[in-house]
């Protein structure tokens, strides 16, 4: 019994080492795809801004208030967020007075 198990294991190991396992798998189950694909690493060139909504942050005197929005800078190729900046503006009665970039 031990000898037959050793023989089966050695044959399976030989198929694995010689690479004939893929040929056997493709004849048994041709509809399955066991290939590995790799993509090149992204260099994160040409970031593009993704603007968030304006949010009221602080009430100031004389009907003025401060609003801030988040700007996420994403890679143009892969879409990964690289860094985040904020834009602030001062409003008076719903009209833009000045934009302050921190």
Q: What pLDDT does residue 22 have?
A: 57
**pLDDT band per the 50, 70, 90 thresholds, residue 93:** confident
The DSSP string of the chain is: -HHHHHHHHHHHHHHHHHTTHHHHHHHH-TT--------PPP---S-EEEE---EEEEE-STTEEEEEEEEEEE-TTT--EEEEEEEEEEEETTEEEEEE--
User: 84 or 78, which is more confident?
Assistant: 84
Q: What digits encode the pLDDT tens for the residues 14-60?
A: 766 666 555 555 566 556 666 766 656 778 778 899 999 999 998 98
pLDDT band at 101 (very low <50, low <70, confident <90, very high): low
Percent pLDDT > 90 in the chain is: 24
């Amino acid at each position: 019994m031990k000898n037959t198990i050793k023989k089966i294991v050695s044959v399976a190991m030989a198929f694995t080492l010689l690479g004939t396992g893929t040929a056997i798998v493709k004849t048994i189950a041709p509809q399955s795809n066991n290939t590995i694909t790799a993509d090149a690493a992204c260099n994160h060139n040409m970031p593009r801004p993704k603007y968030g909504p304006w949010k009221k942050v602080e009430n100031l005197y004389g009907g003025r208030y401060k609003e801030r929005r988040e700007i996420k800078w994403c890679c143009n190729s892969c879409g990964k967020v690289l860094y985040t900046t904020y834009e602030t503006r001062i409003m008076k009665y719903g009209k833009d007075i000045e934009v302050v970039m921190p």
